[in-house]
Amino acid sequence: MALLSREQIKELIRERNIKTVEDIHETLKDLFGETIQAMLEAEMDHHLGYEKNDSENKKTENRRNGHGTKTLRTSHGEVDIEVPRDRECDFDPLIVKKRERNISKIEEQIIALYAKGVSTREIQDYLHELYGIDVSPGLISNITDKIMPLIHEWQSRPLEEVYAFVFLDAIHYKVRDNGQIKSKAAYMVIGIDLEGRKDVLGIYIGESESAKFWLSVLSEMKNRGMADILIVSVDNLSGFSEAISAAFPKTEIQKCIVHQVRNSIRYVSYKDVKKVTVDLKKVYTAPSEEVALAELDLFAAEWGKKYPYIVESWRRNWAEIATFFAYPPEIRKIIYTTNLIESYHRQLRKVTKGKSIFPTDDALLKMLYLVTQDVTRKWTMRVPNWGQILAQLAVFFPDRVKHVVA
């Protein structure tokens, strides 16, 4: 449901002679002021126990006693309101407390609730219960839309020149698009810089996950100042490696072992899953690539005839599955799986699970951004053992990290 119908908007434009962006801003300020005014009147009704001019339900000697003028500072600018007063002077409104002149925190409260995954309906109920006023989904959307410029600024902020590790993965949501429900991919990028700090570098909403879109994401990373990635960890999406190599030709690619195992057992008979999983574990937990290849040969001898596609998949992807074998355990632990980004995804899903369908791409982006800000606020520590890891990276990539450890 929109805040105003199309006809009401047309009438509003005619009445207020709206012609410029400034006119729109002034109109929104007036509408916001009228909403606050209505909320104050509703609070007074609740305080007295009866509505204005409803003397039949009056059960108190206290009564309304005019209004006091007050100028508020809001995110829309200064708004003049009339604060209702009562004869006994004990009315203390919640929406605009006595001596309070900055109420932008009400909007911040709505945004905070939105960031926690509270549904629009629940926010409506909260405001109705607290203030006795019905607020439309359109108003809530308008308030949360105020963060869109912050999102655009965040998405275009400069990046570090070199990242030690970057993790790429997508999470999928249902979004309404031109009257149809479509599955959209939220493309996520997490980076660990040469100081050992991790951060979400960007969130991009696109159609179903594709290597072509990932190439556009990586190109944008370059435009924001990212010149080099030492190692990137990804899933097994077709064409992913080619997209990475096109943008960052020197970057080493590690395909996620967990994804590879999941793909391997997808069509395995239930009674064989445990045995197949145990035998595959012998491959990727081997102490060296040589031993791992020997274990893969043993796996092929045991399961090759029954599940030839598993062996074929591991051999076909081996060059990028086995990347981590070249590195010490401290680096292996970081790169052999996309667990870092999947942990981040789990935190996103905790908040977004109540939203089966998002009304727009922007609505999805707003929620993901707000949750991300909450998550990354806790990422204050460097990656454990970073000093040792950086020293190891300096040995493997001397020309690309020497300026950091010098």
Residues 81-101: tens digit of each pLDDT: 788 888 888 877 766 666 554
Query: Residues of 85-119 as b/e, b for ≥16 C-beta within 10 angstroms?
Result: ebeeeebebebbeeeeeebeebbeebbebbbebbe
Closest CA to 16 of 43, 34, 36: 34
Where are the strands (E) in 212-277, listed by range?
228-234, 252-255
- What does the block give as tokens for 359? 């009304």
Q: What stretch of H or E contains 281?
A: helix 270-284
- Amino acid, res. 204: Y
Distance in angstroms (rounded) separating the CA atoms of residues 287 and 300: 19
Distance in angstroms (rounded) separating the CA atoms of residues 106 and 171: 31
Closest CA to 165 of 352, 354, 398, 393: 393
- What does the block give as tokens for 147? 């963060």
Distance in angstroms (rounded) separating the CA atoms of residues 324 and 283: 13
Distance in angstroms (rounded) separating the CA atoms of residues 138 and 151: 20
Question: Chain centroid to CA 302: how far?
Answer: 44
Q: Is the pTM of this model over 0.85?
A: no
Question: Chain centroid to CA 158: how far?
Answer: 19
Neighbours of 342 (CB within 10 A): 17
Spans of the chain below 70 pLDDT: 1-9, 12, 21-25, 29, 55, 73-77, 94-108, 128-135, 402-406
Name the 3-class secondary structure at 244.
helix
Distance in angstroms (rounded) separating the CA atoms of residues 48 and 58: 8
Strand bridging mode 252-255 / 228-234:
parallel
Strand bridging mode 162-177 / 180-193:
antiparallel
Which phi and psi (to 5°) does residue 317 adopt? Answer: -95, 5
**Could you tell me if 163 and 194 are in contact, meaning their C-beta atoms sit under 8 angstroms apart?**
yes
Q: Looking at residue 1, what is its pLDDT?
A: 35
- Amino acid, res. 281: K
Q: Could you state, in order of their start, the residue ranges of all structural domains in the chain? A: 6-150, 160-405
- Amino acid, res. 76: H
Which phi and psi (to 5°) does residue 214 adopt? Answer: -60, -35
Q: Looking at residue 354, what is its pLDDT?
A: 77
Distance in angstroms (rounded) separating the CA atoms of residues 257 and 235: 8
β-bridge partners, 173: 184
Alpha-carbon dihedral of residues 174, 180, 182, 184, nearest 10 degrees? -80
- Amino acid, res. 331: I
Residues 117-124: contacts with CB under 8 Å, at least 24 apart: 117/350, 117/351, 117/352, 117/353, 117/354, 117/355, 117/367, 117/371, 119/354, 119/355
**Could you tell me if 111 and 143 are in contact, meaning their C-beta atoms sit under 8 angstroms apart?**
yes
Q: Looking at residue 61, what is its pLDDT?
A: 77
Residues 179-208: tens digit of each pLDDT: 899 999 999 999 999 999 999 999 999 887
